[in-house]
Amino acid sequence: MLYIVLHELMHGLGFTSNWQNWFLTGNKNQILITSKPDVVISDNEVIFDEFKETAFDRHLIFNSNYKNLSPVTVKLNDFANPGTKFKNVTDLIQNFLNSKQVVIAENMNNISTTFNSLSSYPKSCYTERAILETTLIPFQNGQSISHFDQSYINSPDFLMTTIQVPGKTLSDLVRQTGATSPIGPKLQAIMECLGYETKRNLIPYRPKLVYPLSGKS
């Protein structure tokens, strides 16, 4: 139970990605992965603002070239201007399917379901990259990207994998992996870079708010 509580607490404190399958088309063969579309939905219309990342997302990189994912969100935001109105959710989805940005979303699905394709790499906090979960097929909202790769299950960074070892308590896993705490070094570095103070870093990095994330002037 403590294992689950601490795992979910880390998500609540910011270890979570907005890169998910937001556009549910009904076609299981077409999964579109984007950062979160910020919309206001009423009975009469849907108002689109922009695609938005989490603070955690600002530190994600492609392992193939170490480039950040944020420019992809900028490209997605060429889909529509902030304040663009659609008749309803179906109209919004159909317009996205007809846009150039659908290719980006399809490509992100391919990347997000390919082993060792994405990492969290908070370079501003001088930490090593942490490989993220990109092996689940099809893409799983809340699981894919928002967790460490399963290979970390036997390391001090076991806590934020998708695997829960049956019959093992949190203390068992800490002892088994040779850790001194359930908060592994990669997880601790990520949380520090999100702005949290720790015993080893009493003056943490304070990320700057950059808004909006758009390529438009």
Here the tokens at position 109 are: 């699905």
Question: Distance between CA 38 and CA 191 in Å, rounded?
Answer: 25
User: pLDDT digit string (tens) for 167-209?
Assistant: 889 999 999 999 999 999 999 999 988 988 887 777 766 666 5
Angle of helix 101-112 relative to helix 89-97, nearest 10 degrees?
A: 90
Identify residue 113 by its one-letter amino acid code.
T
Q: What is the pLDDT of residue 217?
A: 40
Omega before 204 within 30 of 0, i.e. cis: no
Q: What is the pLDDT of residue 197?
A: 85
Determine contact, residues 33/112, Cβ cutoff 8 Å: yes
User: pLDDT digit string (tens) for 127-139?
Assistant: 789 999 999 999 9
Here the tokens at position 199 are: 């015993």
Question: Distance between CA 61 and CA 191 in Å, rounded?
Answer: 17
| Ordered strands of the 46-52 beta sheet | 36-41, 46-52, 84-86
Among positive and negative, which fits the CA dihedral 68, 38, 86, 81?
Answer: negative
Question: Distance between CA 60 and CA 190 in Å, rounded?
Answer: 11
pTM (two decimals): 0.91
Q: Is 50 helix (H, G, I), strand (E, B) or coil?
A: strand
